[in-house]
Every structure is written in structure tokens, then in C-alpha cells.
A = this chain, B = another copy of it.
Amino acid sequence: MADPFILKAGTGIALALPARACMTVTNIYGQQVVDTWALCASDTSEVLSMEHTRSSLDKLRPCVGDDLYSNRRRPVLNLAKDTSPGVHDTLLSACDEARYRLLGFQGKHASCAENFFAALRELGIDAPRVPSPWNLFENVQIGDDGKLTIEPPVSRPGDHLVIRTLVDVIMVFSACPMDIALTNGIDRRPKDIRLHVS
């Protein structure tokens, strides 16, 4: 992988990283959501889990300094830095073909679910399912009645997160191809993301 690497709009990538690596995810235009997953390299059935992270932190979303937990309740990532306002989603599933059909789209559409599977296949990993993603920069507002609304990201051009790996992991990133909901801004246009490993 070139470094820094430009993750093209609507595409995904999987990266095998050792423990104590730092991954910088930069929202070049400020308005792009990045679905993010981590699978433990020692056993890829152990995965970053949004529900175990929420339960272990007693928080809806991790903040700077927080560890993120696997489905075996082990800390696997740490959110080391975040220059954005900290609005990231842990509630919504990755978009998939069925999601686009429910939104009224006919035909074939790229999706984060498909990007997840395809990126892992590039590394020879045949994943059985899509874990619940950590949706970086996704702005999901919760109404008093529990209504969820996807609003444009509040992040600014150049905002970035640094994610530190605590174990050997396969990281998967998808620059979300959503062009119907407001996920990727009011222009509903997917954009590139910059990734940098150190």
C-alpha cells in the first residue's frame, strides 16, 4: 500500500497491522463516512464489537483515550486522537444491497457490506458475516422518541482520527458509497479518504 493511501470514494481496503500500530484516517473533504471494522489476526472470529464497546465503556460512542472492545470483551483498539467534533456512529449497520432497495434504488449498487467482504478476500480471508461497523464521522441524531436521523457529518476538511491497535488486527475501511441518504453530506456524493499507517 502506498503511504499515505487514498481510499477512493465508495471503495474499501483491508490492512493487516501489528499491535501498537497507529492508523490516521483523514476526512479530506470533511463530509465522508468511513465504515470501520477490526478482526483479530490470531482468530478472525474475534471482532471489534460495537455492543461490547458500548457496554464496557457505558457510552454510546468511544471518546479520545477510550479502548474499543471485541466480542470477547478484550480491548483491541484505542482512539488515540480525534480533531473532529467526535461525532461517530456505533448504531447503524453497514449499507448493503437490501438497504439500497429499501431506499428505492433499483439495480446493482456498491455497498460497505460488499466492500468489507471484497477487501478481506484480497487478503485471503473469507468472512462469514459483516460485524456491526464503527461508522467514523457518521452523524446519527437520536430524537426524544428514539427516532434516528442521518444528518450530514459535522466534521471539517482535514479532520482526522488516530486509531491505535492493541493486538494484531486486520483493519477494514470502507469509504461509504451512500448517495441517497445524507450520510456523506448534503451533496450526497461519496468522496475520497486518506489513510496513513505509522
Contact = CB atoms under 8 A, between A and B. Distances in A.
A130 B61 CA distance: 21
Contact of A71 (B52, B72, B92, B130): B130
Interface in A93-144: 93, 96, 98-99, 102, 128-130, 132, 142
Contacts of A45: 128-129
A60 B148 contact: yes
Interface in A117-175: 128-130, 132, 142, 146-149
Contact of A92 (B55, B98, B130, B149): B55
Interface string A66-82: 00000111100000000
Of the listed residues A51, A60, A71, A98, the one surrounded by the most CB atoms of chain B closer than 10 A to its CB is: A51
A71 B113 CA distance: 11
A56 interface: yes
A71 B60 CA distance: 21
Nearest to A71: B129
Interface in A19-64: 45, 49-52, 54-56, 58-61
A134 to B, nearest CB: 11
A91 interface: yes
A187 to B, nearest CB: 22
A57 B177 CA distance: 20
Nearest to A130: B71
